[in-house]
Amino acid sequence: MYRARGRIVLGSGSPRRRELLALAGIELTVRATGVPEDARDGEGPHEHALRLARDKALAASSIDPGAVALGADTIVVVDGEILGKPRDGAEAVRMLLSLAGRTHEVLTGWALARDGVLLTSDVSRTEVEFRPLTHAEASLYAATGEPLDKAGAYGIQGQGALFVRAIRGSYTNVVGLPLVEVLAALLDAGVIAPCEVAS
């Protein structure tokens, strides 16, 4: 468990990122930035995730001067194609079937900034292997609504876990934030400190 040594803001409205940071005891303020998430021409998946994380961190830091802002963006990549959040149930089914029986990448770009200055940033990568899926399974899952606000149309922390055969890398990265890496960066920046154990 950690305690904040200053104000921390999260430049994201993601409830999953808030929940992951809360597991570590970190209290923060949410500052959704409204940064557009469209990919740019010629931009690869790694560059895309990193750019969005940096843009979100910088935008949130300008909203809340003096605070350390954390920006993050998670994408799913298969065959070099970025799968964002599905627009509707039909697109969710198409995404799920494109992942079925295969291994894909989950990339999360993350960045820390203060007063419009980037402190650090990186991209974390996890491989996720799906079992084969039928069209009916994908449709039933899409009908739950769970996939509609998630990159790649599944939530590994929810019913989407039923499709995952194996993961290689950080589990929390697939949820939306590589917690070990981000906590290490916050510690290095002096933004958080370990809680002391009462004797």
188 is catalytic: no
Strand partners, 72: 110
C-alpha to C-alpha distance for 24 and 4, rounded to whole angstroms: 11
C-alpha to C-alpha distance for 122 and 109, rounded to whole angstroms: 6
Catalytic, out of 64, 73, 88, 122: 73
Is the separation of the CB atoms in 105 and 125 below 8 Å? yes
Count CB neighbours of 24 within 10 A.
Answer: 16
Non-local CB neighbours of 125 within 8 Å, separated by 6+ positions? 105, 106, 107, 169, 173
Catalytic positions: 73
